[in-house]
Amino acid sequence: MVEPSFLMRHQHRFSHLILITLALSLGSALADELTLPEWLLTTRMGGDFRYRYESIEAEGFERVNYRNRIRYRLWLKTAVNDRVTVGFRLASGQGDPRSTNQDLQDGFSGKPLVLDRAYATIRHRGWLTVTVGKQEVPYLAASQIIWDSDVNLEGGSARLETVRGWLTLSMTGGGYWIDEQSLGGGQGLAALQPAITAKRDCGQTDLALAYYDYSFVKDHEVIYSSLGLGNHTHFDHTRGTVYDEDFNVLNATLRHRHRLARTIELTLTAEYVQNTATDVDDDGVLGGLALTQDEGALPYSVSWDYRELAPDATIAMFTESDFAGGMTDSRGHKLTVSIKPLKNTSLGSTLYLNQQGTTDDAPEYTRLMGDFAVKF
């Protein structure tokens, strides 16, 4: 018989042992009942943050505009099965189609987040991909002459792709809803782009020809903004500011990437754009090059391009927002230098030397941006 004094001396140890046994039993039972769903295990998330300081000097304005801006984006993507993926992205900004920047101002006030992307993607046998919802631009482009990098299309797109050795042939098309019109119709976009990619050990060449057919644009309200931003417009007493021309835009893209060394790559770019719906002020060109070292003690990138864009070459509301103040009817240079001092971190600067117009006496526009960016 165990003496009572021994039980009294060690009762706390027996109590702890009983509690541990109960906890293990309960945890095992809960694990059997609360099995994590498979889709949760296939979910990925990430994002990026950028701090930007910039100065803007436009001829005809009395002072230089200085501002500080941030951009924050957070995305989540889930493979719900082996064919279907859904995802979304939140971003800072006011909802501008081609900017997720948020100015730092208004006395430390809170800043908004908007739904930047929301989509579902279906893949079939590796050669067909269909995406519906608010999605990134699926068309191959070597620059932002047609699409600013922040633009996300709304509607549906499909991509057919086949690989034949070192050649990849693709056809991408889609239909997108731009805006509802209160006085009949609705602005939309139908797009089609065949493309060829040739990939060898020494580099890669991309060749693509896109056709963008906009509907209900001529004599209809300007898209999103109250300004034409370089496109020819006029004032209608019923509709307000409306476009003078329709837009059926051809965009030819050639991009060649060549490996100069194991970690150094040279990229040559050429683009041509023409609005086939009008005969005047209807085209644009871009040529550029970039040198990139993606490994080593201090990875870097240097790029330059020159472009000229006639007023009605493309929809101004979707072209690059930083070049010449986001306008067509512009020309000039863009120079970017960046380094990666730490993993997933970059420091960069971009200089725009532009003219808001394509004549020699057009107003000059100078923009200098300094960026600190982090990806996660």
Q: What is the pLDDT at residue 30?
A: 58
CB 331 within 8 A of CB 356: no
Which whole-number Å values give the CA distances from 278 to 154, 231, 314, in the listed order?
26, 12, 11
CA distance 18 to 111: 53
CB 283 within 8 A of CB 310: yes
What is the C-alpha R_g of the chain?
27
259 CA to centre of own chain: 26
CB 258 within 8 A of CB 265: yes
Structure tokens at 251: 């965009």
Tens-digit pLDDT profile for residues 79-138: 999 999 999 999 999 999 999 999 999 999 999 999 999 999 999 988 999 999 999 999
Tens-digit pLDDT profile for residues 163-216: 999 999 999 999 999 998 655 668 999 999 999 999 998 999 999 999 999 999
Tens-digit pLDDT profile for residues 303-328: 999 999 999 999 999 999 999 999 99
Query: Any idea which of 38-42, 98-102, 276-280, 363-367 has the lowest mean pLDDT?
Result: 38-42
Q: Per 3-state DSSP, what percentage of the chain is helix, strand, and coil (rounded to 5)?
A: 10, 55, 35
Ranges of H-type helices in the chain: 4-33, 38-41
* Contacts of the segment 18-21: beta carbons below 8 A, 24+ positions apart: none
Q: Give me the half-sphere count of Cα atoms (radius 13 Å) on the Cβ side of residue 188.
A: 11
pTM across the whole model = 0.88
What average pLDDT does the segment 139-160 reach? 96
